A and B are shown apart, each in its own frame.
Chain A
């Protein structure tokens, strides 16, 4: 069967208004501090407010992020759609979905959208484009090489429009825009793989800041090694692992040995088995995102193992697609034990 058409799942139970009669604390749950109890908190997680909705009119609360108080009133109004969060007397609304806000040291995956005389403009999923100055990249031919005018003229041979790169946020400017750098062997142009974009930090699911954002998976079915780069901004790169040539070169000469392919836009040969495993990992990440789960090394590895197990159980040809029934089984395995 080429197509599966399902009946829509019934909508979730509409959430109860906060002032619904509650025998436990006499319906005064917003006003009191009772809701610092964990049980209450878990229930409050479901409370979603929409922009313009009055969260409370009690003057004892201070307004935090995502809220607004109209002049000459005490009503706290939500400005974003999200969940209400209370920290002592501070009331803030945590958005369901937000754009990425760069922070210094973040590992991000970005796409070049504009080339300017001495810098690139990079889309990192933030409200404003990030900058990558020509002076913040490793030029081919040694780390200590001076940047020359020729480099400025040939700026497109390093990165041109549409190219993907992995970089680190070096500094932030007043308007919240980031300046990136790729001055490390870990960073640079991306090739040999697929890109996907999920929501970054801010919402419930998506990529979260973790101990490791980049790791290598030893795949099954003769797939070889696959690298996964989870950009903190929600951009993800999954690619074939390329061994650095000449592993025993001295640390000072390492730069020269890799620089010949750093700015290449030509893919290496990638076996079909590797490609299949790459799509499987992509499917796992997609599944995690659709279910609103966090995407990090732990979850992706668990999901990948579950996907392989489910695929092995099923008779017939191996199929990496994780939609419909199969996806549900994988999720069941993920949440089960």
Chain B
């Protein structure tokens, strides 16, 4: 579970927390900005913005949060591996061929939040198995990929989905010089940039995307804002990718007409900041409102938790139900669901 330091605490009063929590647990939930449960905030995206990189992208939310990702690659000599290295295995990549670094303004490089975000992003990228294989040049050389992720604004909400979407676009726009040498020769590349090849050619599988999903009672809510996160009971980071339509598996998908088959790559729970909030004091226990305060802290706690008064904030207790987590994942993966919409939306962004 992600440490709670990675989701920053914002100070909210018990009355606000109670209002947000009750609004979000209604059916349908009423979000403070009026969005529907599955709606994302509209965003602006563009690719190929940095001339010095192999691929880059920028995504900007309407509220001003903005991220830029640049991809750099260099040729590196492969160290021979001793386990299972192989003749027929061929184009197998290694996880250390990809290096992800996240920079957030106002935070040190070794703060838990950037480190954790970088780990989560690289985990989801590597989890599809095919990514590092693309970096294989020949048995002696490979590409080493540096993904530099920069959040330009203050993190107004948990920035993981923003960074992940931007990384996805940057990788889609990444082009590598065309290889001219053959087999295990020292690699020689075509110096014509127009001849370069996409790391992810059109029609192949796509890099992973991580979405943030939260739940309040039984309501599943996508793309939560900071206020919404502060009353969440469960927060999941779900990484998905689409199967390539031309998968070499030979299995023909029956419904190949719709094109997209989503695959779950990784799920991480994130510690919701709501657990650390102070509970609200009900009127009956508040001396300022004519109630009588309990004599000791234990008595107060037991009294308060015995009461179930509407309108009093109680921090969530206990873990998430398995059924709820399964439901959240299903909502991402379902046909015509949010996962598909997001991938379709990203596909529509013009490359270059």
A residues touching B (Cβ–Cβ < 8 Å)?
1-9, 111, 113, 140, 154, 157-158, 160-164, 189-195, 260-270, 272, 275-276, 279-280, 282-283, 286, 290, 319-324
Contacts and interface: CB of A to CB of B under 8 A. Distances in A.
A9 B46 CA distance: 10
Given A113-B11, A163-B13, A192-B15, A5 B341 contact: no
A158 to B, nearest CB: 6
Interface stretch (B26-34, B80-88, B127-135): B26-34
Given A162-B278, A190-B13, A275-B30, 8 more contacts: A5-B44, A7-B44, A8-B45, A191-B13, A194-B227, A263-B286, A267-B310, A269-B311
26 contacts: A2-B40, A3-B341, A3-B345, A4-B43, A5-B43, A6-B43, A6-B44, A9-B44, A111-B11, A157-B287, A162-B12, A163-B14, A164-B16, A190-B13, A191-B13, A192-B15, A193-B16, A195-B16, A263-B286, A266-B282, A267-B22, A270-B22, A279-B31, A290-B62, A319-B36, A323-B33
Nearest to A7: B46
A266 B278 contact: no
Nearest to A157: B288
A25 to B, nearest CB: 38
A270 B15 CA distance: 12
A160 B278 contact: yes
B15 A265 contact: yes
B34 A319 contact: yes
Given A7-B45, A275-B23, A283 B349 contact: no
B19 to A, nearest CB: 6
A158 B13 CA distance: 13
A321 B34 contact: yes
A263 B15 CA distance: 11
A324 B43 CA distance: 9
A5 B346 contact: yes
Contacts, number: 173
A321 B39 contact: yes
A140 B288 contact: yes
The residue in A290, A321, A322 that gathers the most chain B C-beta atoms within 10 A of its C-beta is A321
A97 to B, nearest CB: 12
Contacts of B289: 140, 260-264, 266
Given A8-B46, A154-B287, A157-B288, A321 B14 contact: no
Contact of A282 (B12, B32, B349): B32
A274 to B, nearest CB: 10
A2 B342 contact: yes
Interface residues of B, number: 58
A190 B14 CA distance: 10
B43 to A, nearest CB: 6
B10 to A, nearest CB: 9
A161 to B, nearest CB: 7
A140 B286 CA distance: 12
Specify the main secondary structure of chain A where it touches its partner.
Answer: loop
Interface of B: 11-16, 18-20, 22-23, 26, 30-36, 38-46, 58, 60, 62-63, 222, 227, 278, 280-283, 286-290, 293, 309-313, 338, 341-342, 345-346, 348-350
A270 B45 contact: no
A265 B34 contact: no
A70 to B, nearest CB: 29
A266 B42 contact: no
A145 B260 CA distance: 71
Contacts of B19: 191-194, 267, 270, 275
Contacts of B342: 2-3
Nearest to B281: A265
Contact of B350 (A4, A7, A283, A321): A7
A162 B18 CA distance: 13
A161 B38 CA distance: 33
Which among A8, A9, A269 has the highest number of chain B CB atoms within 10 Å? Answer: A8
A316 B71 CA distance: 43
A276 B338 CA distance: 23
A154 B280 CA distance: 16
Contacts of A162: 11-14, 278
A2 B23 contact: no
A280 B32 CA distance: 8
A319 B38 CA distance: 13
Contacts of A8: 44-46, 58, 60
Contacts of A324: 42
A280 B287 CA distance: 36
Contacts of A160: 278
Nearest to B343: A3
Contacts of A265: 13-15, 280-281, 286, 312-313
Contact of B26 (A5, A190, A267, A272): A272
Nearest to A261: B289
Contacts of B63: 290
Nearest to A154: B287
A279 B348 CA distance: 31
A5 B34 contact: no
A269 to B, nearest CB: 6
B13 A276 contact: no
Contacts of B350: 7
Contacts of A275: 19, 23, 26, 30
Contacts of A264: 283, 286, 288-289
A313 B86 CA distance: 65
Q: Which 8 A-B pairs have the closest CB atoms?
A: A320-B34, A267-B311, A191-B15, A263-B288, A321-B34, A3-B40, A279-B34, A2-B341
B345 A4 contact: yes
A6 B341 CA distance: 14
Nearest to B20: A194
Given A3-B342, A320-B34, A161 B39 contact: no
B338 A2 contact: yes
Contacts of B349: 5, 7
B36 A321 contact: yes
B43 A190 contact: no
Nearest to A318: B34
Contacts of B288: 140, 154, 157-158, 262-264
